[in-house]
Amino acid sequence: MLARAVAFVAIVASVAAACGGDGNERRDAVDEYVRAANTIQNRLRTQLTAASQATRAFGTKKSDIERARPRLARATLTLTKLERRLSRLDPPPEARRLHRLLLRLVALERGLMDELRRVTVVLPQLDEAARPVAAAGARLQTDLRAARSGGAQAVALDRYRARLAAPLAAVRALDPPPLLQPLQTTQLATLTRLRASAADLAAALRKRREAEVTRLVQRFQAAARTADTTAAQQGRIGAIKAYNERVRRVSTLAARVQRERDRLDRDLD
């Protein structure tokens, strides 16, 4: 299960309470910086709330993806605007560490948001690229049933191998986000193994190497089950764990922002 990133709107709002003017020039300078940061956030409050809602509503069903894609695109744009506007602020020396932490937090949140956006774009592309594989498999079964000799079966396998060339190229051409890289890797491995085992089986049938045919048939069938292997499953689980770790870093960084805010409040009191 994917974790959800911390809503950035709450973090920025908490910074606004960091300091209060009391005539101290250093404190007043920090207070002015915080007010400016909070003004930027307030002007994007509606969009930031929508961004937070977009992550909570994210799902990988086709209907969920269709709804989420434009919402996540808008959310990524909102966080990009926030990052750009905050980066234009000129914090006083006392608030520079807070400023750096704040920018890192926004950048991390934007990256997570954009990763989810890319999932909604690339996942349908991966599905579409692999769609011809099932049809090619069905056609192969029909051709093998109709074949009356080992040579005819070899021709059927050659045609099957040729039909997998386009899906293989299409999957390879995609640029998935980290969450989907194991899925792409599995699809590439499956298609590569299917084509290689089909070629070897066709060669054995043509040369009538009956002793090898049974083993090669088993290898061909195993290639079709590549996605179900332990390694493939571990890859997908690992990608989710890595994403959740990036979400955890958001919480950790948000806590550092809070501690820096508290430090400024104490030191400039």
Q: What does each C-alpha distance from 131 to 59, 135, 187, 234 come to in angstroms?
A: 21, 8, 11, 24
Tell me the mean pLDDT in the region 184-205.
Answer: 96
Q: Is residue 220 part of a domain?
A: yes
Residues 146 and 83 occupy one common structural domain: no
pLDDT tens track for 130-172: 999 999 999 999 999 999 999 999 999 999 999 999 999 999 9
The DSSP call for residue 235 is H
Whether residue 98 has pLDDT greater than 90:
yes
d(CA 48, CA 68): 15
Q: Is residue 238 part of a domain?
A: no
CB 92 within 8 A of CB 26: yes
Please give the pLDDT value at position 6: 44
> Could you tell me which of 25, 29, 5, 50 has the C-alpha nearest to residue 99?
29
Structure token pair of residue 99: 């400023």
Q: Is residue 157 part of a domain?
A: yes
For residue 146, how many C-alpha atoms fall within 13 Å in the half-sphere facing its CB?
Answer: 9
Domain boundaries, position 168: 123-233
Tell me the mean pLDDT in the region 73-78.
Answer: 94
Residues 147 and 219 occupy one common structural domain: yes
Please give the pLDDT value at position 3: 59
pLDDT tens track for 10-47: 444 444 444 444 448 888 899 899 899 999 999 999 99
Whether residue 120 has pLDDT greater than 50:
yes
User: What is the total count of domains within the chain?
Assistant: 2
Q: Is residue 165 part of a domain?
A: yes
Q: Is residue 77 part of a domain?
A: yes
Q: Is residue 199 part of a domain?
A: yes
Q: Is residue 79 part of a domain?
A: yes
Tell me the mean pLDDT in the region 71-90.
Answer: 95
